[in-house]
């Protein structure tokens, strides 16, 4: 067990019922420091979330336990530590984060926090730990992913992971699309996709999911783990049903976030064959997040990925015209989806490393 550096407390964070509760001060401060840390790493505020929108993300759910601590150094909150534990039967994985203000790096806080994470994961019977970290572009030595797709600088974060026994398994690309003046190009791409997608139709909704589509949507969400490229990352399969869809929706609706789901339906069978999600917070001028996109394996080869993405972006342009940029993430080896994004106009801006350790 690593001794805590002098003046450091890793304090469990209680999740308040409301952001206005008397005991919500620690959560509000955690949210503020979270946003500062992301801005220091990324150089922009696109990852920022106000405390009231972040709170629903941390409310208890049946599918996942979310543990959170704040790092308090000499009475000041300087970071946060988190561990997510999926609750599928026989789950072996845990997903963690350590986020610290840059000025306290190198003081042993990260090592103490990781010791806490690994001890807690063992207590919960977890043997596989994973974490994602943005690695800003830098000169000098780099570390390549074992997939052969992408690399990250051998920076402070990479050295921390390597020293702790973690291996780099995958590179994730972050890309941006500027929506301004994109409508003619998107309409041309949509028309081409519609020609290739004979026998499919586009259906769209905002949350909540229409009852007639809940089960099929849940089935597609469960396939995000099994059908999307995962390199050498070891995942537990996820089981989605109507209750889990409703649970997922509450995270967005309780935060007053706007979500558009676009699906492709096979007309003859009624099967949902592909989907795409776009989301934004209460600030409709902020960046839009393009979240999950999937084409079911048995329906690939009909340009359904292009179909749902372009149809979604065009509808989004009409519904949320104040948001001029879209942000998305893709595995660097996911060439089919990257090709779609690049054709649409997404431009890569940064890269994340996916790191994994199998506990003894």
- Cα–Cα distance between 257 and 79 in angstroms, integer? 25
- Cα–Cα distance between 303 and 20 in angstroms, integer? 47
- Cα–Cα distance between 56 and 192 in angstroms, integer? 40
Cβ contact 184:251 at 8 Å: no
Give the CATH fold of the 176-352 domain. Answer: Aminopeptidase (3.40.630)
Candidates 84, 92, 132; CA nearest to 331 is 132
Cβ contact 118:111 at 8 Å: no
Global pTM reads 0.95
Give the CATH fold of the 8-126 domain. Answer: Aminopeptidase (3.40.630)
- Cα–Cα distance between 318 and 314 in angstroms, integer? 7
Residue 225's pLDDT is: 82
Residue 137's pLDDT is: 87
- Cα–Cα distance between 44 and 38 in angstroms, integer? 8
- Cα–Cα distance between 197 and 300 in angstroms, integer? 10
Residue 2's pLDDT is: 67
Candidates 141, 140, 149; CA nearest to 169 is 149
- Residues of CATH 3.40.630.30 domain(s) within the chain? 8-126, 176-352
> Residue 65 has which token pair?
């336990």
pLDDT digit string (tens) for the chain, length 360 residues: 668 999 999 999 999 999 999 999 999 999 999 999 999 999 999 999 999 999 999 998 999 999 999 999 999 999 999 999 999 999 999 999 999 999 999 999 999 999 999 999 999 999 999 999 999 988 999 999 999 999 999 999 999 999 999 999 999 999 999 999 999 999 999 999 999 999 999 999 999 999 999 999 999 999 988 777 777 899 888 999 999 999 999 999 999 999 999 999 999 999 999 999 999 999 999 999 999 999 999 999 999 999 999 999 999 999 999 999 999 999 999 999 999 999 999 999 999 999 999 998
- Kindly give the interhelix angle for 183-196 and 304-319, rounded to the nearest 10 degrees: 140
- Cα–Cα distance between 130 and 217 in angstroms, integer? 27
- Cα–Cα distance between 118 and 345 in angstroms, integer? 41
Residue 1's pLDDT is: 65
Instruction: Tell me the C-alpha to C-alpha distance, in Å, between residue 274 and each of 176, 204, 227, 250.
Output: 22, 12, 12, 22
Residue 275's pLDDT is: 98
Cβ contact 258:280 at 8 Å: yes
- Cα–Cα distance between 329 and 300 in angstroms, integer? 20
* H helix or E strand, kind and range, residue 268: none
């Amino acid at each position: 067990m690593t001794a805590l550096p002098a003046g450091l407390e890793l304090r469990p964070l209680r999740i308040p019922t409301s952001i206005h509760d008397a005991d919500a001060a620690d959560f509000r401060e955690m949210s503020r420091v979270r946003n500062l840390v992301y801005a220091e790493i990324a150089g922009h505020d696109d990852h920022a979330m106000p405390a009231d929108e972040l709170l629903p993300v941390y409310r208890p759910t049946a599918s996942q336990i979310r543990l959170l601590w704040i790092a308090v150094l000499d009475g000041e909150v300087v970071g946060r530590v988190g561990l997510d534990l999926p609750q599928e039967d026989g789950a072996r994985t845990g997903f963690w984060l350590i986020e610290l203000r840059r000025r306290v790096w190198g003081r042993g806080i990260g090592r103490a926090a990781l010791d806490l994470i690994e001890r807690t994961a063992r207590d919960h019977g977890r043997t596989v730990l994973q974490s994602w970290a943005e690695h800003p572009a830098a000169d000098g030595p780099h570390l390549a992913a074992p997939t052969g797709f992408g690399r990250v600088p051998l920076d402070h974060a990479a050295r921390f992971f390597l020293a702790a026994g973690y291996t780099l398994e995958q590179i994730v690309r972050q890309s941006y699309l500027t929506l301004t003046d994109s409508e003619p190009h998107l309409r041309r791409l949509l028309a081409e996709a519609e020609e290739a997608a004979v026998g499919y139709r586009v259906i769209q909704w905002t949350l909540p999911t229409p009852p007639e589509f809940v089960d099929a949507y849940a089935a597609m969400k469960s396939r995000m783990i099994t059908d999307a490229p995962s390199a050498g990352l070891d995942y537990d399969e996820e089981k989605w049903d109507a209750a889990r869809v409703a649970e997922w929706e509450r995270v967005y609706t309780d935060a007053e976030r706007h979500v558009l789901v676009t699906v492709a339906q096979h007309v003859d069978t009624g099967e949902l064959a592909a989907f795409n999600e776009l989301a934004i917070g209460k600030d409709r001028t902020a960046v839009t997040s393009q979240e999950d996109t999937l084409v079911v394996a048995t329906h690939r080869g009909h340009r359904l990925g292009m179909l749902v993405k372009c149809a979604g972006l065009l509808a989004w342009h009409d519904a949320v015209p104040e948001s001029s940029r879209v942000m998305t993430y893709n595995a660097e080896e996911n060439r089919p989806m990257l090709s779609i994004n690049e054709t649409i106009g997404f431009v890569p801006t940064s890269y994340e490393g996916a790191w994994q350790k199998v506990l003894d």
